[in-house]
Chain A
Amino acid sequence: MLTVVLFFLFFSLFLYVLLAGADFGAGIIELFSSRKNQEVTKKTVYRVMGPIWEANHIWIIILIVILWIAFPAYYNIFVVYLHIPITLMLLGITMRGVAFIFRHYDAIKGKSQGWYNHLFKLGSFFSPLFLGMIFGGLVGGSINLFEENSSLGFKELYLDSWLNPFSILIGLFYVALCAFIAANFLIGEASENEEQHTYKKKASYATIVLVLLGFVILLYGYFNEIAFVADFIENKLSVIAIIISALVLIPLWIMIKKREKRWSRILAAVQVFLIVAAAMLAHFPDVIITSTKEISILSEVASTSVIDSLGIALIIGGLVILPGLFHLMRSFQLIKLFK
C-alpha cells in the first residue's frame, strides 16, 4: 500500500505543478503582455481554465494531506523550517484566487477591475516563485536543524533555509516553467493568427529562459557543492530524463508549427513530467537535504494500518474523482482525445 500512497503523492505533485502551473502561468503571461493582449489572454484563460479552475487547486490539498498522514516526521520539518515561504505562498494563492473570481463575478465592471487585475498578476508571479523556493529550500542543503545546534538564531533557523540564491533560482525556474506551460496551452486556444503569433513568441521566450535557468542552476549548484545538484548530475536516470526533455522540445516545436493542438499539449505535459521526475529521481527517497544530512521520506512512515486505510481511501477517491474530472474536461473540450 505504501507504493499506492507514494504513487498518489507524486501523481498529485505532478498534476499540481502542471495544472496549477498552467493557471499561474496564464497570470504571468498577462503580467508580461501589452494591454491589448492582456484582455485577450484574460478572456481565453477564463473560457478554457474556468471550469477546472477550482479542481486544479485541490491537488495541493491532497498533497499536503497525504504528507501529514503518511509521512508525519517529514511533514514536521517542512512546516517548521519553511514556515515563512509557505505563508507567503498562501498569501499569493489567496490573493490571486479571490482576484480571479472577483474580476469575473463583480456585478459592476468598473474601476475596481484594475485592482483585481494587478492582484491576479502579482499573485500569479509570487505564488509559484515561493513554491519553487520551498522546494529549493527542502533540497538546497541550507536547513539547519535546532536539535543539532542549539545556539542558532532566527536567521539561521528560519530564513537561511529558503532565502538563498539556490532557492531563488529554483523559484524563478518554476515561474518560467509555468509561463512555458501556459503559453503552449494558450496557442491552441487562440482564435486568430495574430494571437497565436504572440503566444508563440511568449512560448519561445519562456523556453529560452527555462533552458538558461536550468543551466545556471546546474552550474551554480556544481560550483557551490550543493548536494542536490551533485546527486542530480551523478544520477543516470535524472540525466537521461533531462536529456529526453530537451529533445522533446524539437517535436514540440514542430507540433506547434503544424498547429497540432493535441500533440503540442501532450508534449508540453511530457516535458513537465520529465522535469518533475528528474528532480525526484535525483535523490529519492532522501527528499530533505539539510546542512548536515539527507533525510529519507521513508525513514519514519506512519504505521501500516494508517497507510493501508489511506491507500484504500485514495484508490476509492481516485475511482470517483478521476472519471468525473476527465468528463468535466471533455465536456468543455479541454481534452480532444476522443473526438
Chain B
Amino acid sequence: MENLEAARLQMALTLIFHIVFACIGMVMPFFMVISHFKWLKTRKKIYLELTKAWQRGVAIFFVTGAVSGTALSFELGLLWPEFMKHAGPIIGMPFSLEGAAFFVEAIALGFYLYGWKKLPEKFHWFTGVIIGISGVASGILVVAANGWMNSPSGFDYENGVFSNIRPMQAMLNEAWFTQALHMTLAAFVATGFAVAGIHAFQIYKGKRKELHKKAFNIAISIAAVAAILQPISGDLSAKDIAERQPAKLAALEAHYETEKGAPLYIGGIVDEENQEVNYKIEIPDALSFLAFGDFDAEVKGLNDFPKDEQPPVAIVHYAFQLMVALGTLLALAGILYFLSLKWRNWQNSKKYWLLFVILAPLGFVALEAGWIVTEVGRQPWIIYNIMKTKDAVTPMPGIFYSLIMYVSIYLLLTFVVSWLMWRQIRVLNQTQD
C-alpha cells in the first residue's frame, strides 16, 4: 500500500473511531444531568440509580474519547506535516480555544465524578451541566477548524506563501456555522437513538421496565427533536456547498454534466468509467431547487472540473444517499415517538420497542456517512483549492505499519468498551426494583 493511501486510511479510521466517543462524550452528560435533576426534584431512588449508571458510561467513554483525541492531535502533524506547517498557525484559534474547553470539561468532570456527597448538591449538579456545555463547545470548535479546510479564509495566498493571517476570520469561515449546527444536531441524534435503543432492548426483553422506560424517555425525547430538525439543517449545508464547493455537490449528486433545471437522482449505481448513473429515480428540476432555491438554476457538473480535481464520485454519492435516507427515517421515527405520547397504547406493543432497537445504530451510521461525504468530497484537496492532500503527507515511509497498529488497537478497544457496557447493563438489571 502506498504511503499516501495508508495515511488517508489511518486518518479516516482514527477519526471514525474518535467521533463516536466524542459524540457520546458531548451528549451523555446532558442525559445524565436531566436524570440527576429529576432525582433532586422527586427523590425517586430510581433516578439516582440511572444517573450513576450513566455516569459510569460517561467516564468510560470520556477517557476513550480523550486518549483517541490526544492521539489525533499528534496525528494531524505526524501524518500531514506540510499541512500543519502552514495551516497550524491559521487555524490555531479554534484549537487553542478547544484546549481551553477540554480543560473546563476535565475540571468539571473531576468535580462531578468525585463530588457525590462531598459538594453542595446544586453545585455538584451544575458541574455536570458544565461538562455538557464545554463538550459541545469543543465539538463546535474542531468543526470550525474542519470548516476552514472546506472554506479556507483569513489569510492571503500568493505563490505558495500564506501571509497576512487573520485568526478570527479563519475561525469564523463561511462553512463553520452550517457545519457546526449540523454536526451538533447529529451528535444528539446519533447518541440519543443509540442510548434509547439500548434501553428499548431491555424493555423488549422485559427487564426492569420502570427504570429503562425512564431512561428511554429522556434519551429519545431529545433525539427526536434533533432528528426532526436535522433535514432542515442538512438542506442548509447542501445550499452552502452548492455555493462554496460545486465539485463536492456534483459528486454527492453524481452529476457529470452541467445542466439548467437539474434533476435529483435517488438511488442508482454509479458507473465512474462511463460517467453514468444507472437504475436511478429522477425527479425533474428538484436538484436545482434544493441547491439554489430556483427550479431553473444551473448546477455545475463534474466535467467542468479538471480530471485531477474531481473527487471520487461513487463513494461520496452512496454515502450521501445513505445519510439522507437514514435522516428521513430517523425524523419519521422522531415524529412517531411524539405521536406515541398521545396514543399511549402503542408503547404496549413489542413491535414498538423492537423498532427502536433496530434504529439504535443508524444515527451513527448516518453520522459517519456524512463525514465521508464531507471529507472524501473535498478530495483531492486537503485545503480546498489551496493545497492537495498528496503534497501534505509525511515523507516518512512505512505508514502502513502504523495503520496496522491503529487498526488492531482500535478494534480491541471497541470490543472491550462494548463488553464493558454490556457488563454495566447486566449489573444494572440484577438490582431489583
Q: Contact residues of A with B, CB < 8 Å?
A: 50-55, 57-58, 60-62, 64-66, 68-70, 72-73, 75-76, 78-80, 83, 86-87, 90-91, 93-94, 97-98, 100-102, 105-108, 146, 154, 157-158, 302-303, 305-306, 309-310, 313-314, 316-317, 320-321, 324-325, 328, 331-332
CA distance A107 to B419 in the complex (A): 11
Contacts of A303 in B (CB 8 A): 89, 163-165
Decide yes or no whether B206 CB sits under 8 A from chain A. Answer: no
State how many angstroms separate the Cβ of A22 from the closest Cβ of chain B: 15
B81 at the interface (CB under 8 A from A): yes
Cross-chain contact A97 with B107 (CB below 8 angstroms):
no
Contact B74 A146 (CB under 8 A): no
For A64, the chain B residues whose CB sits under 8 A away are 73-74, 77
Docked complex Cα distance between A83 and B110 (Å): 32
B100, B395, B397, B416: which contacts A313 (Cβ < 8 A)? B100
Q: In the complex the two chains form, what is the Cα distance from A296 to B317 in whole Å? A: 48
Complex-state Cα separation, A41 to B113, whole angstroms: 20
- What's the minimum C-beta distance from B95 to chain A, rounded to whole angstroms? 5
On whether A154 and B398 interact (CB within 8 A), knowing A76-B85, A90-B74, A105-B60, the answer reads yes
Q: Which residues of B contact A302 (CB under 8 A)?
A: 88-89, 92, 165
Tell me the nearest residue of chain A to B89, going by C-beta: A302
Flag if B81 contacts A51 (CB, 8 Å): no
Partner of A102, one of B107, B118, B402, B420: B420
Q: Pick out which of these stretches binds chain A: B41-49, B63-71, B180-188, B292-300.
A: B63-71
Give, as a whole number of angstroms, the nearest-CB distance from B85 to chain A: 5
Interface size class of B (residues with CB under 8 A): 35 or more
Task: Indicate which residue in B62, B63, B67, B89 contacts A306 across the interface (CB closer than 8 Å).
Answer: B89
The closest CB in chain A to the CB of B127 belongs to: A328
**What are 30 pairs between A and B in contact, CB < 8 Å?**
A50-B113, A51-B110, A58-B99, A61-B99, A68-B89, A69-B96, A76-B82, A79-B78, A80-B394, A90-B74, A91-B409, A93-B70, A98-B63, A101-B64, A102-B416, A102-B420, A105-B56, A105-B59, A107-B423, A107-B426, A108-B427, A158-B396, A303-B164, A309-B93, A310-B93, A313-B96, A324-B104, A324-B107, A328-B111, A331-B118
> Shortest Cβ distance from A9 into chain B, in angstroms?
12
CA A101 to CA B56, docked complex, whole Å: 10
**Given A54-B110, A80-B81, A321-B103, do A66 and B163 touch, yes or no (CB 8 Å)?**
no
Q: Is the CB of B88 within 8 A of A61?
A: no
In the complex with contacts A51-B111, A75-B85, A309-B168, A106-B420 CB distance below 8 A: yes
Measured in the bound complex, the distance between the Cα atoms of B110 and A317 in whole Å is 18
Q: Is B97 in contact with A313, judged by CB distance below 8 angstroms?
A: yes
User: Which interface residue of A68, A324, A328, A332 has the most chain B CB atoms within 10 A?
Assistant: A68
A-B contacts besides A55-B106, A309-B93, 4 pairs, CB < 8 Å: A57-B66, A306-B165, A317-B99, A331-B118
Do A75 and B423 touch across chains, with their CB atoms under 8 A apart?
no
Instruction: Report whether B110 and A328 are in contact in the complex, using a CB–CB cutoff of 8 Å.
Output: yes
> Whose C-beta in chain B lies nearest to the C-beta of A322?
B103
Q: Are B165 and A52 in contact, with the CB atoms below 8 A? A: no
Q: Which of B107, B111, B167 contacts A321 (CB 8 A)?
A: B107
B97 proximity list for chain A (CB < 8 A): 313, 317
**CB closest chain-B residue, reference A104:** B59
Please determine whether B423 and A83 come into contact, CB atoms closer than 8 angstroms. Answer: no
Q: How far is the CA of A57 from the CA of B67 in the complex (A)?
A: 9
Given contacts A57-B66, A310-B96, contact A325 B396 (CB under 8 A): no
Residues of B close to A325: CB separation below 8 A:
103, 107
B111 touches A65 (CB 8 A): no
**Prevailing SS type, chain B contact patch:** helix
A320 to B99, CA, bound (A): 12
Chain A residues contacting B64 (CB-CB under 8 Å) are 98, 101
Please tell me if B114 contacts chain A, counting CB pairs below 8 Å. yes
Task: Tell me how far the C-beta of B149 lies from the nearest C-beta in chain A, rounded to whole angstroms.
Answer: 15
* Interface contact A306-B167, CB-CB below 8 Å: yes
In the complex, are the beta carbons of A54 and B78 less than 8 A apart? Answer: no
A64 to B103, CA, bound (A): 15
B39 in the interface (beta carbon within 8 A): no
Closest chain A CB from B292 CB (angstroms): 36
Known: A313-B96, A331-B119. A57 touches B70 (CB 8 A): yes
For the complex of A and B, the 8 pairs showing the least CB-CB separation, nearest first, are: A69-B92, A317-B100, A54-B106, A68-B88, A79-B77, A302-B89, A51-B110, A107-B427
Residue in B99, B103, B164, B395 whose CB lies within 8 Å of A80: B395
Residue from the list A50, A76, A107, A313 in contact with B84, Cβ < 8 A = A76
- Nearest CB of chain A from residue B14's CB, rounded to whole Å: 10
Taking the complex as formed, is B228 at the interface, i.e. its CB lies under 8 A from any CB of chain A?
Answer: no
Chain B residues contacting A331 (CB-CB under 8 Å) are 111, 115, 118-119
B225 to chain A, nearest CB (A): 30
Say yes or no: A108 contacts B423, CB within 8 Å.
yes
Q: Is the CB of B62 within 8 A of A54?
A: yes
Given A65-B99, A303-B163, answer yes or no on A102-B60 (Cβ-Cβ < 8 Å).
Answer: yes
CB contact between A68 and one of B70, B84, B427, B428 (< 8 Å): that residue: B84
Closest A residue to B60 by beta carbon equals A105
Q: Is the CB of A86 within 8 A of B81?
A: no
List A contacts of B84 (CB < 8 A).
68, 72, 75-76, 79
How near does chain A come to B394, taking the closest CB pair, in angstroms?
A: 6
Does residue B405 face the partner (Cβ distance < 8 Å to A)?
Answer: yes
Residue B86 lies at the interface, judged by CB distance under 8 Å to chain A: yes
Whether B413 is near chain A, meaning CB under 8 Å from some CB there, is: yes
Q: Do the beta carbons of B104 and A321 come within 8 Å of each other?
A: yes
Pairwise interchain contact B70-A70, C-beta atoms closer than 8 A = no
Determine if B262 is an interface residue (Cβ-Cβ < 8 Å).
no
